[in-house]
Amino acid sequence: MKPLSFASAVCLPVLLFLSAPVFADDIPDEPERRVIPPLTLEERIVDLIEAIQDEAPETYRRMAELPREEALARVMRALDSGAVLASSVGNGNGKTAAIGQNAEVKDYPALELAARKFLYLRFDGLTALTVPEAVKALDGRSGKADASGVILDLRNAFYGDYGFEEPLAESVRKLKCPVMVLISGKTKGPGEILAALLRRDCGAVLIGTETAGSVFPVKRIYVNDVAWFVPDIPAEGFQDISPYALKPDLEKQSDVRLSFDELKESPDKLDGDPVLRLAADLLTMKAAVKPVEQSPAQ
């Protein structure tokens, strides 16, 4: 993740500390002015760390677990790489922000691929429009003998609202079948958390390219009239979810992606989408391999 933010989603624009002192001695016939020295580097570091500890305790806990040299290096890079004056960001209340609240969301219905064996779900975002229908499709498949696998296409899931990833993950867990998750550099925020949860809880295989690295929501913190943006990591349920970009288990780079209409028209013709083709082939192989039953001990 990027400095201080521990994720590239935490955007720190150009540092705008306006702390140059006025040198009164250079101006003749003027009364002596009191020069207020700028904050020392140590004071800035201490204030910033204390603010993170108060406002984002889980972020502070993770930072405190880092080796001292690495933690200090992160803070130093953050101080040098960005902040914005509090006056330039308005009177925000510091609450976490969802990603892409005003983005146009496309709701793709579930498809059945590879002779109706695999359930395919595509997301451009995790929202109140897209998630309920996906959960319904997953729950409707639960307990069926032909539930041979699930493919979640998160390659374009770059917006959405935090909180919807857990209901989706729970419905996938109930299926107890192989799971493939397609990711890319556009997979961001809630989509990254969903992919991480499915890898952790369902052994999902992540296929594609590295994600955006904008895993957690951000929180605005004011320190010395400067607004900083730090990750607001939940204290429960996400202790082992990395704030860094997710790396695929199987790297497959391809800019070619079938449109949803093409998939709907020909759900078994996947050669035009190499990443999706690989996921379907892996599920086919998994379905074909049956575990060998052990003979009872004599």
pLDDT tens for 231-249 read: 788 777 787 888 888 999 9
Which residues are CB-contacts of 210 (< 8 A; sequence separation ≥ 6)?
Answer: 183, 185, 245, 246, 247, 248
Q: Residue 100: what pLDDT?
A: 53
Q: Are 231 and 5 spatial neighbours (Cβ–Cβ below 8 Å)?
A: yes
Q: What tens digit of pLDDT does each residue of 92-128 get?
A: 444 444 555 556 678 899 998 877 688 999 999 999 9
**Average per-residue pLDDT for the chain:** 76
Query: Average of pLDDT values for 20-25?
Result: 29
Average pLDDT for residues 205-226, to the nearest whole number? 86
Predicted confidence at residue 206, as pLDDT, reads 98
Rounded to an integer, what distance in angstroms lies between the CA atom of residue 163 and that of residue 125? 12
**pLDDT for residue 135:** 94
Please compute the mean of the pLDDT values over residues 282-290 and round it to a whole number: 79
- Ranked by mean pLDDT, the top range of 10-19, 48-57, 85-94, 163-172 is 163-172
Task: Identify the residue whose tokens are 């696998």.
Answer: 149
Return the CATH architecture of domain 111-216+254-286.
Answer: Alpha-Beta Complex (3.90)
pTM of the model: 0.72
Q: Is the pLDDT of residue 6 over 50?
A: no
CATH 3.90.226.10 residue ranges of the chain are 111-216+254-286
Under the banding of pLDDT at 50, 70 and 90, the label for residue 66 is confident
- Residue 182 bridge partners (DSSP): 153, 207
Distance in angstroms (rounded) separating the CA atoms of residues 150 and 144 = 13
**What does the pLDDT look like over 134-186, one tens digit per residue?**
999 999 887 654 557 999 999 999 888 888 999 999 999 998 889 999 999 99
C-alpha closest to that of 162 among 123, 192, 187: 192
Share of the chain above pLDDT 70, in %: 71
What is residue 298's predicted lDDT score, i.e. its pLDDT?
47
Give the rounded percent of residues in the chain with a pLDDT score beyond 90: 33
Give Cα separations from 40 to 12, 17, 36, 79, 214 (angstroms): 21, 12, 12, 12, 31
Using the predicted structure, report yes or no on whether residue 79 has a pLDDT greater than 60: no
What is the Cα–Cα distance from 191 to 55, expressed in whole angstroms? Answer: 25
State which amino acid sits at residue 35. Answer: V
Helix segments in the chain, DSSP class H: 41-55, 57-65, 68-81, 131-141, 165-175, 190-202, 260-265, 274-288
